[in-house]
């Protein structure tokens, strides 16, 4: 059996397909690089565009909550903009790559119909491009924190890669799910757009989780991104040792499950993709 | 060893639009491939196709449009899965279904070649090793660092072709993509195929260029309406296929001619063209002598619309005059569809004085060898006076298809043969 044939010899096709995906990692890397390069080629500001969206959020929300309604935010969040930034940067990665991934298969339809390669590469590339933009944003975030004299605990920063890894797993799982289903239900993309807006406000990004009344807090705790947002805020914004590793572990387990489900659904729908895109 | 084994492969597409699962639940609970669509809303692209391709053979797949050739190729390529049955491909596979599919317009040819090669299953290093060869083959040395959006479609196709044939596949699947670039490039493509064949690679070629199959393939597969009609020696399979196509054309031409004929046989209306000298098709004349029927018959005397070049043909007219009519000349003309007159004559030109028709009769124009080139021809038949005033003129009302295995050029084919002497060695004629 050759390596690029569509019919892996292994007894469990799902695992064989997954192994094949791992073999295609060099392609994924090149596609992410291409994505980043192509997106900003011919634009004046180039990569700077990827920061415009989070910066706008930052400006608008900090204006609203520090100038227009200063009483609406808890007093212990100083400076508020830095707190916001810690949540908005990962959220932007999450939401934009999910939206992009949901369209990835439809946009790459010609490829899927004409070339034999693992289609899951496309949504994964969307998520990884988002991760790259997130990583470019991190130094800016750190610089912003330093400028605002937010005390950064070096030990906390060690947690950051773990949190990012968990978010990556979660996002890829959801991206696989969204991309494969969007091929069959095109309106899923519009649904997702609205869902993400709702999700944003149901996540403690604009407000600290401590500000949520206890009887509603359980709803937020069910949201895996709550755990991630709190973990980011804990590592980057708040002083003191990192104590939220339970959250990270919990959301890590959830993310593994979501990834497995997402991949299984994608694999289940794989054969229908060339016909439906 | 077999490179490709197809067992009872069937593929059903939904004919009308995309599928809509009614609920997410049904999408996941219904069995694979069996969901959605009433039987009328389905299109069976392949029906129980079974064949083997031995390693190292090149196979041409022929068949009409919509006969399932491309679907079969996709099943072999693993793009989509058969509704039932299995396809096994042994070895590294490369499929040329669309050249340069997945090229990104904004980035350079160089990066696209790397990505395309990796998509087709090579590692980055393997592509890099073949890179110069690919670029040289595609004749793109000067442009390889320019973004692909600046390439012409021919350049993109050349680059795509170059990548695909440099994958060094064990099995190469090609879908009608040889018409790439100019003459010299398509020669290069054919050379490359010959080379791959010599190296013992398996090639499956879907094409309408039948001579490509006879010249470059060990065997041919003929697909007809999703079923395998024949597999074997290319010449024999293609002959059978062409005979079948001719039969079908005959039926189609008969249908289109039936209108003119029934019109004529029903007595006919006067269809006088506005300008006699630019007349396209029509019928006019006084009808004192009437042509009530016109048939083209083959050497066996069977009415037909398709004649093999070099075979016999007869144009048979049934004529009628109410009373005795004198001063009658009969004529026949053969025209190409672009209007060129291939041949025209009448009884007067050939030396017979005008004659007489009384009651019903028959006129036959016999051609023992119709040495016309392959193509579609239209017939003029007429009865008129010596001075040209028509009794009944049928202009370009009958269609004739001439078929030929030889794709020569010109207007007619003089009977000829080739001989060679001295140091010239050409065989096969």
| Residues B340, B217 within the same domain | no
Is the pLDDT confidence value at A7 over 70?
no
Distance CA B220, CA B58 (A): 9
Q: Which of B28, B95, B106 sits opposite A38 (nearest CB)?
A: B106
Is the pLDDT confidence value at A56 over 70?
yes
Q: HSE on the CB side for A17, CA within 13 Å?
A: 21
Q: Is residue B66 part of a domain?
A: yes
* Cis status, amide bond into A79, omega within 30 of 0: yes
- Chain A interface mutation, best of B24, B104, B105, B121, highest count of A Cβ atoms under 10 Å: B121
| Residues B155, B179 within the same domain | yes
Report pLDDT for A175. Answer: 96
Q: Is residue B408 part of a domain?
A: no
* Domain total in chain B: 2
Residue-wise pLDDT tens digits, B82-140: 889 999 998 888 887 777 677 888 888 999 999 888 888 888 899 999 999 999 998 88
Q: Which of A5, A34, A38 sits opposite B78 (nearest CB)?
A: A5
- For residue B276, count other CB atoms closer than 10 A to its CB: 12
| Residues B189, B299 within the same domain | no
Tokens of A188: 């899923």
For residue A82, give the nearest of A208, A242, A166, A171 by alpha carbon: A208
Report pLDDT for B275. Answer: 44
Provide the residue range defining the domain that includes B85. 2-17+30-242
Report pLDDT for B38. Answer: 53
Q: Is residue B48 part of a domain?
A: yes
Q: Which of B211, B242, B273 is the last residue of a domain?
A: B242
| Residues B326, B230 within the same domain | no
Q: In degrees rounded to 5, what are phi and psi of residue B22?
A: -70, -40
Which residue in this structure is represented by tokens 């805020």? A233
Q: Is residue B272 part of a domain?
A: no
Which CATH number belongs to the domain containing residue B344 in this structure? Answer: 2.70.50.60
> pTM higher than 0.95, yes or no?
no
Report pLDDT for B27. Answer: 54
Q: Is residue B413 part of a domain?
A: no
- Chain B interface mutation, best of A13, A22, A116, highest count of B Cβ atoms under 10 Å: A116
Q: Is the Cβ–Cβ distance between B233 and B220 less than 8 Å?
A: yes
| Residues B208, B261 within the same domain | no
| Residues B216, B261 within the same domain | no
Report pLDDT for B211. Answer: 81
Q: Is the Cβ–Cβ distance between B2 and B54 less than 8 Å?
A: yes
ipTM for the predicted complex comes to 0.76
Q: Is the Cβ–Cβ distance between B318 and B293 less than 8 Å?
A: yes
| Residues B13, B43 within the same domain | yes
Q: Is residue B22 part of a domain?
A: no
Is the pLDDT confidence value at A245 over 60?
yes
Higher pLDDT: B67 or B30? It is B67
Residues written for chain B? 429
Question: Taking chain B, what is the end-to-end CA distance rounded to the nearest angstrom?
Answer: 36
Helix A25-40 / helix A121-147 crossing angle, nearest 10 deg: 60
Q: In degrees rounded to 5, what are phi and psi of residue A208?
A: -80, 150
Tokens of A172: 């890829």
Which residue in this structure is represented by tokens 């060690």? A158
| Residues B174, B306 within the same domain | no
Which CATH number belongs to the domain containing residue B82 in this structure? Answer: 3.40.50.300
3 state SS of B9: strand
| Residues B220, B260 within the same domain | no
Q: Is residue B417 part of a domain?
A: no
- A196 confidence band (pLDDT: 50, 70, 90): very high
Q: Is residue B207 part of a domain?
A: yes
Residue-wise pLDDT tens digits, B89-101: 988 888 877 776 7
Q: Which of B19, B87, B102 sits opposite A115 (nearest CB)?
A: B102
| Residues B91, B153 within the same domain | yes
Distance CA B287, CA B196 (A): 67
Is the pLDDT confidence value at B34 over 50?
no
| Residues B12, B127 within the same domain | yes
Residues on chain B bordering chain A, Cβ-to-Cβ distance under 8 angstroms: 13, 18-21, 24, 27-28, 32-33, 74, 77-81, 87-95, 97-98, 101-102, 104, 106-107, 111, 114-115, 118-121, 123-124, 147, 170
| Residues B63, B211 within the same domain | yes
Burial of B426 (0-12, 13-18, 19+ CB in 10 A): exposed
Give the dihedral of Cα atoms A126, A130, A136, A139; nearest 10 deg.
-160
Tokens of B254: 């008969």
Test B21 with A184 for CB contact under 8 angstroms.
Answer: yes
């Amino acid at each position: 059996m050759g390596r690029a044939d569509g019919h892996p010899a292994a007894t469990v096709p799902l695992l064989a397909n997954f192994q094949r995906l791992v073999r295609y990692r060099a392609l994924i890397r090149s596609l992410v690089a291409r994505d980043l390069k192509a997106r900003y080629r011919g634009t004046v500001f180039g990569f700077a565009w990827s920061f415009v969206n989070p910066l706008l959020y930052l400006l608008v929300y900090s204006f609203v909550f520090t100038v227009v309604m200063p009483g609406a935010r808890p007093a212990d969040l100083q400076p508020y903009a830095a707190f916001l930034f810690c949540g908005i940067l990962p959220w932007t990665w999450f939401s934009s790559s999910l939206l992009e991934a949901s369209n990835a298969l439809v946009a790459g339809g010609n490829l899927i119909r004409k070339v034999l390669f693992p289609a899951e590469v496309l949504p994964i590339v969307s998520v990884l491009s988002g991760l790259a933009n997130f990583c470019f944003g991190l130094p800016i975030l750190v610089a912003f924190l330093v400028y605002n004299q937010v005390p950064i605990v070096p030990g906390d920063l060690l947690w950051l890669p773990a949190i990012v890894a968990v978010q990556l797993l979660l996002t890829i799982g959801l991206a696989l799910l969204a991309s494969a289903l969007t091929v069959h239900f095109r309106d899923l993309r519009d649904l997702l757009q609205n869902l993400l807006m709702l999700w944003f406000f149901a996540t403690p990004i604009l407000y600290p989780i401590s500000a949520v009344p206890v009887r509603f807090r359980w709803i937020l705790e069910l949201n895996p991104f709550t755990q991630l947002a709190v973990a980011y805020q804990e590592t980057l914004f708040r002083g003191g040792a990192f104590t939220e590793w339970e959250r990270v572990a919990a959301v890590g387990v959830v993310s593994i499950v979501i990834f497995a489900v997402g991949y299984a659904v994608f694999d289940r729908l794989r054969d229908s993709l060339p016909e439906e895109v | 060893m077999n490179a490709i084994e197809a067992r009872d492969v069937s593929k059903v597409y939904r004919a009308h639009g995309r599928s809509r699962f009614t609920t997410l639940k049904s999408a996941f609970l219904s069995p694979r491939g069996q969901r959605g669509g009433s039987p009328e809303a389905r299109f069976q692209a392949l029906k129980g196709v079974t064949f083997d391709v031995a390693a190292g053979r090149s196979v041409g797949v022929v068949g009409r449009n919509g006969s399932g050739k491309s679907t079969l190729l996709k099943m072999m390529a693993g793009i989509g899965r058969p509704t039932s049955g299995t396809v096994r491909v042994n070895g590294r596979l490369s499929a040329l279904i669309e050249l340069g599919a997945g090229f990104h317009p904004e980035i350079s040819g160089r990066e696209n070649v790397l990505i395309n090669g990796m998509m087709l299953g090579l590692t980055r290093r393997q592509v890099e090793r073949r890179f110069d060869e690919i670029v040289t083959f595609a004749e793109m040395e000067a442009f390889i660092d320019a973004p692909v959006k600046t390439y012409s479609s021919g350049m993109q196709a050349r680059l795509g072709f170059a990548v695909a044939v440099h994958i060094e596949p064990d099995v190469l699947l090609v879908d009608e993509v040889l018409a790439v670039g100019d003459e010299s490039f398509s020669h290069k493509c054919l050379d490359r195929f010959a080379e791959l064949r010599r190296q013992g690679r398996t090639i499956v070629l879907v094409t309408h260029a039948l001579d490509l199959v006879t010249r470059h393939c060990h065997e041919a597969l003929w697909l007809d309406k999703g079923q395998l009609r024949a597999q074997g020696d290319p010449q024999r399979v293609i002959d059978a296929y062409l005979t079948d196509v001719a039969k079908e054309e005959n039926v189609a031409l008969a249908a289109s001619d039936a209108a003119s004929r029934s019109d004529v046989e029903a007595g006919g209306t006067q269809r006088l063209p506005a300008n006699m000298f630019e007349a396209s098709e029509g019928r006019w004349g006084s009808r004192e002598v009437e042509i009530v029927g016109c048939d083209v018959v083959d050497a066996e005397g069977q009415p037909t619309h398709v004649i093999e070049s070099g075979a016999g043909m007869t144009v048979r007219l049934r004529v009628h005059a109410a009373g005795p009519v004198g001063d009658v000349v009969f004529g026949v003309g053969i025209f190409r569809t672009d209007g060129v007159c291939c041949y025209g004559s009448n009884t007067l030109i050939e030396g017979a004085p005008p004659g007489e028709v009384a009651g019903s009769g028959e006129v036959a124009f016999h051609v023992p060898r119709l040495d016309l080139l392959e193509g579609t021809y239209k017939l003029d038949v007429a009865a008129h006076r010596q001075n040209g005033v028509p009794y009944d003129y049928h202009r370009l009302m009958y269609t004739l298809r001439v078929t030929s295995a030889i794709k020569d050029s010109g207007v007619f084919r003089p009977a000829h043969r080739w001989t060679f002497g001295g140091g010239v060695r050409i065989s096969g004629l």
